[in-house]
Amino acid sequence: MELDASTPREQCERLFLELTARIDTGHASDGVELFTPDAVLEVGGRSCCGHDEIAGFLALRDARSDPSAIVGRASASILGAAGS
């Protein structure tokens, strides 16, 4: 087994970027596997608790006509903050 020497922040950033890539390509629903079963996803004042609620939210994202409209801005924000 290979040990991951990255920091927890870097690991979170990679997971976030993986999720946004899935949303941008219309595969948001596949992103539920990136979350632990007890995870909480907070987006725009809405909290989704656990795999079922997160999967439901991500399915709604898949149904949007322009899935990258919000995610692209969020990705830029986290990348800009990475150096801080």
pLDDT at 82: 44
The pTM of this model reads 0.68
pLDDT at 15 over 50: yes
Q: What is the rounded distance in angstroms from the CA atom of residue 37 to the CA atom of residue 18?
A: 18
pLDDT at 2: 55
pLDDT in tens, 16-51: 889 988 888 888 899 999 999 999 988 888 899 999
Sequence spans of domains, the chain: 28-81
Q: What is the rounded distance in angstroms from the CA atom of residue 50 to the CA atom of residue 45?
A: 16
Considering only CA atoms, give the Rg of the chain.
Answer: 13
pLDDT at 53: 95
pLDDT at 1: 46
Mean pLDDT of the chain: 78
